[in-house]
Amino acid sequence: MAATLKVFLVVITVFYRYTGIHGERSCYIENMENDITNIKKDIEDLKKQIGTSDKCMGMLLVNGLRHRVPDSELTASSMIDNGHGPHRARLGTQMEGANMRGGWSAKIKDQNQWIQADLGKIMQVFGVITQGRISTVHYQWVTSYKVSYSTNGSIYKYAVRNNNQIMEGNSDMWTPVLNMFDPVQARYVRINPVSWKATISMRFDIIGC
């Protein structure tokens, strides 16, 4: 298990350093070690659920080094336009030109909205990382959400953290927030926003193996 945790932390650290998450604001570089420490604490809390086998190495599944979900398999209940589409929701995504926005934004503001990743096969999933939408004008992020999952795309269940379905989200547009939950077997993973700042906008990744 120690080896699994070590490799997972290395993957997260490399991702932070080379995708520019903290580069969005230089002051956030100073917080990198604190972020990694908090992630390590959350993983320690899940040792019993995950078990002691090193066969499952936690990694980023949407935009990771070893597993990447194609744009076509990132879908959502709604979007303002293509520039705010689910393909813009990868963790660390930046604004590109005049039309490609820094995150997914739902067209409708209600609790029926969702963004989904099709992992391509059934995998073990035990966490998500979220960010707000990066913007020079708008201040938008999801403050709480649920995670639902399915093996067949038809029947969904909710992931649970400490006997609670609702996960704490973001409080700004830059900082990645990690939520670990009881491991589940899933091919389709949805984030269902419950509350938000201004409008439903976010970036995300999924942790599993």
pTM: 0.77
Q: What is the mean pLDDT of residues 107-121?
A: 98
The tokens describing 10, both together, are 């290395």
What is the distance between the alpha carbons of residues 80 and 84, in angstroms, rounded to a whole number? 6
> Across the chain, what does the average pLDDT equal?
80
pLDDT score, position 82? 85
Pairing mode, strands 201-208 and 115-131: antiparallel
What is the distance between the alpha carbons of residues 55 and 145, in angstroms, rounded to a whole number? 30
pLDDT score, position 57? 59
Q: Which long-range contacts (CB under 8 A, 24 or more apart) does 162-171 make?
A: 166/194, 167/128, 168/143, 168/144, 169/130, 169/141, 169/142, 169/143, 169/144, 169/145, 169/193, 169/195, 169/196, 169/202, 170/130, 170/131, 170/132, 170/141, 170/142, 170/143, 170/197, 170/202, 171/141, 171/143
What is the distance between the alpha carbons of residues 169 and 98, in angstroms, rounded to a whole number? 28
CA angle 165, 46, 177 (to 5 degrees): 60
Give the closest residue to 176 by CA, choosing from 55, 72, 69, 90: 90
Please write the tens of the pLDDT for every residue from 145-189.
999 999 999 999 999 999 999 999 999 988 999 999 999 999 999
What is the distance between the alpha carbons of residues 156 and 151, in angstroms, rounded to a whole number? 8
What is the distance between the alpha carbons of residues 26 and 192, in angstroms, rounded to a whole number? 31
**Residues 206 and 60 sit within 8 Å (Cβ to Cβ):** yes
Q: What is the mean pLDDT of residues 39-60?
A: 55
Higher pLDDT, 11 or 64: 64
Please write the tens of the pLDDT for every residue from 24-44.
443 333 444 455 455 555 555
Q: How many alpha carbons lie under 13 Å from residue 28 in its C-beta half-sphere?
A: 15
